[in-house]
Amino acid sequence: MTRKFLVIIPELAGPPALIGEALMEQGHSYDAIYPMDRFASHAPLSYPGLPSEPGDYAGLVMMGGPMSANDTAEHGFLEESMSLIRSFGLAQRPVLGVCLGAQVIARAYGGEVFRLGGLEAGYVGMRTTEEAARDPVFAGLAGNFAAFHTHYEGVRNIPEATVLATGGKSAVQAYRIGATTYGLQFHPEVTIDIARDWVRKFGAVFCQDEPRLITHLDRDFAAHFQASAQWCRRFVRSWSNLPG
């Protein structure tokens, strides 16, 4: 069944990429809305703002961005996104948050977004939890895998969240709230061109804390990208077809 999704993109350099491709490979479509750039794919000449309700959208995706989910005073769209996330959750429609998106979901449901001990970047080894084997999306993805990261903050103390993956600097790298809301601290959507663009745009900060983003980037993508892209497609296939 064809479904249309809404994708919130807080950073122009952080598109849905492989996630968007995987949706379209399933025969689905998506509208993209850029709250910082005040642009929407479905209304390119007149920015409509974020909707207040799910409407006809089958599900919601929120991508990453350079701001903190705690920066609600500076970025009004964060509170709007939290409200919309809860609306999709109440409607039991699939919700996915990636990096910042996962942190916004955590805040929306009373969780804590906190500063890690430093930047977590590049491909990092993840491992799924026992609960993941019983999860409708993660059941087919259980085991160890490498995932690409670029974040200074993590999530914790999320009421009623089920932790699905852990590893690296954070005990919570993937989680589920309710039946259809998922948060991923890592970036399954990323391609090497996107990663190179992040180095170009944010490298003055990122590469001081993690020089391997320059020295090891090509080698790490050669080693891990194919498996990571397959993981992304399998995840999106299961997530996007959750009952809702």
Domain range list for the chain: 4-240
Mean pLDDT for all residues in the chain? 95
Band (pLDDT 50/70/90 cuts) for residue 197 is: very high
pTM of the model: 0.97
User: How sure is the predictor about 228, in pLDDT bands with cuts at 50, 70 and 90?
Assistant: very high
User: Which pLDDT belongs to residue 206?
Assistant: 76
Phi, psi of 93, rounded to the nearest 5 degrees:
-105, 150
Q: How many CB atoms lie within 10 A of CB 226?
A: 10
Beta-carbon neighbour count of residue 3 at 10 Å?
19
pLDDT band of 211, cuts 50, 70, 90:
confident
- pLDDT of the residue at 205: 76
> What kind of fold does domain 4-240 have according to CATH?
Rossmann fold (3.40.50)
Which residues are the active-site residues? 99, 187, 189
CB 88 within 8 A of CB 122: no
